[in-house]
Amino acid sequence: MKRTLLLLTVLLSVGAMAQTGNSKKFDFANRSKDHFMIQFGSDSWTNRPDSVRTGGFSRHFNLYFMIDKPFKNNPKMSVGFGGGLGYSHMFFNNVNVNVKSTSTTLPFTIADSVDHFKKFKVTNIYLELPVELRYFSNPANPNKSWKFALGAKVGTLLKSFSKGKNLVNKNGQSIYGTSYVAKEQSKKFFNGTEVALTGRVGYGFLSLHGSYQLTSVLRDGAGPNMNKFSIGVAISGL
């Protein structure tokens, strides 16, 4: 949390310096003050041991409603802030993850030689509050502007669940049919607070984005100390 406060202080300090910058006038008649931002891309957990064997396309989907506040004396820069939902889907390769376990640590069990799901994922859903310090090469017309943004987001965990589809034996033969689905829900093992650094770079409404979660994915003592790294595409008017 101290690192988050330090980051926000830096962002506000840069913003204060921007107030004394370029005084050139821009016409903001066609520039929106609020907008939606959609993000989609891949997720990974860093520092994971061999037992946490991920596979497939682990991914995220984020949807935010953002408000943009340009600096009066330097309108090429602004602060964006808002709120929304973040979905993280981590897929595993022949690994059983028992989120309903009575153990004090989350079990990751290699299941190559036992019954396992052909497709298996763990989903975490967060309520997130992002903030960005933004730069526009053409602030009067964001649709024809290069854009850069650095920021952070704080989130609280709303829901965690595992979902397995098509239970198979060690030979890969389906046990209950390909449409069989099992779902279990529990937040017991996952960190209830998410703090992440974020960044974006792009042109017009399309940009590349990335984030690195400073807080561990799992609670203290619930398993290995892993952090989430995300990269993908963002669609946003600002």
Mean pLDDT of 197-216: 97
What was the pLDDT predicted at 19? 45
pLDDT digits (tens, 9 = 90+) for 64-105: 999 999 998 888 999 999 999 999 999 999 999 999 999 999
Q: What is the three-class DSSP state of 178?
A: coil
- The pTM score is 0.87
The average pLDDT across 165-194 equals 96
Q: 174: which residues sit within 8 A by CB, 6+ positions away? A: 118, 166, 167, 168, 180
DSSP 8-state symbol, 219: P
Could you give the CA distance from residue 197 to residue 180 in angstroms, rounded to a whole number? Answer: 38
What would you measure as the largest C-alpha separation in the chain, in angstroms?
Answer: 70
Residue 7: its pLDDT value, please? Answer: 53
DSSP tag of 29: T
Give the pLDDT band (50/70/90) at residue 216: very high
Among the listed residues 211, 34, 204, the one whose alpha carbon sits nearest the alpha carbon of residue 136: 204
pLDDT of residue 224 exceeding 70: yes
pLDDT of residue 14 exceeding 50: no
Phi and psi, residue 186, nearest 5°: -170, 140
pLDDT at 143: 87
- For residues 104-120, give the mean pLDDT: 95
**What per-residue string of b and e applies to 136-159 under the rule 16 or more CB within 10 Å gives b?**
beebbebeebebbbbbbbbbeeee
